[in-house]
Amino acid sequence: MAIIVDNDTRLVVQGLTGSEGRFHGLRNKAYGTNVVAGVTPGKGGQDVDGIPVFDTVAKAVDEAGANTSLIFVPARFAADAIYEAIDAGIGTVICITEHVPAHEMLRAYTYFRPKGVTMIGPNCPGVLSPGKANVGIIPAEIFTEGSVGLVSRSGTLTYQIGHELTQLGLGNSTIVGIGGDPVVGSSFIDVLAKFEADPQTELIVMVGEIGGDEEEKAAQYIAEHVSKPVLSYIAGFSAPPGKTMGHAGAIISGSSGTAQAKKEALEARGIQVGTTPTEVAQLVAERIKA
């Protein structure tokens, strides 16, 4: 098994006819993801490498059976694309678009959250279940199928740790990049709960970074609700206080949101924190072999 995307994923790419949507949509298809449709208003009836394009997500659902949406549209249209996918009955929405205004995402969050929709992003690399489906921009060729669940706020750190695991002969059940914005569709806790319920996942790696308190909340949740071993890595120990580093969500105030504070919160609940991505992979290998 896996979480969020798998062999049953039937993908519609919102923005398939754009350069980014086309490039990554076709990469996802080449990996083996069942890409059943694209959506670009006004371009219905066309196709992209044999993938039919519809004017609306509703038509993609009705005529192609889409159940998962990948959003590659400009930031000013991203929130509307999320609403459209949800209103069409899509159960999983993954938004890669960055620079989506926080207030628009906050309104969208209050809309989709009560509906039970799984929302990943925005400003994220997507979700990969090796050997099953790749939905987003994750370089799937550096990952292998296995039993390690990986959830991260950082895309590139996700790639590095996944590659380190592959080099050690280990694989992943699912890799989830939740995104680095202040308001995202799924938290660490949301994804941890899915991994806890997934039979394929034996161990979980959580990659955090400075800013906010999501890692501290996750630490408490893990202590109370997660029975599987969890290892972590926190990026940003050298970041100056009060400065945004890379992601919009990576801003700290005083001692709140610092890498040290997050590390202490995790370790206080028995969660081992690696100092480098390489060390994290080695710790995973040691834990699995034990």
pLDDT in tens, 216-228: 999 999 999 999 9
Query: Within 13 A of 34's CA, how many CA atoms are on the CB side?
Result: 12
Distance CA(90)–CA(135), nearest Å, equals 14
pTM of the model: 0.92
Average pLDDT over every residue of 263-270? 89
Q: Indicate if 143-290 has the same CATH topology as 1-123.
A: yes
**Active site amino acids:** 247
* Arithmetic mean of pLDDT over the chain: 91
**Helix (H) and strand (E) counts in the chain:** 9, 14
1-123: CATH, from 3.40.50.720, 3.10.50.40, 3.40.50.2300, 3.40.718.10 = 3.40.50.720
Domain chopping of the chain, boundaries: 1-123, 143-290
H/E element holding 37? strand 34-39
Distance CA(209)–CA(3), nearest Å, equals 23
Residue 196's pLDDT is 98
CATH topology of domain 143-290: Rossmann fold (3.40.50)
Q: Is the pLDDT of residue 210 over 80?
A: no
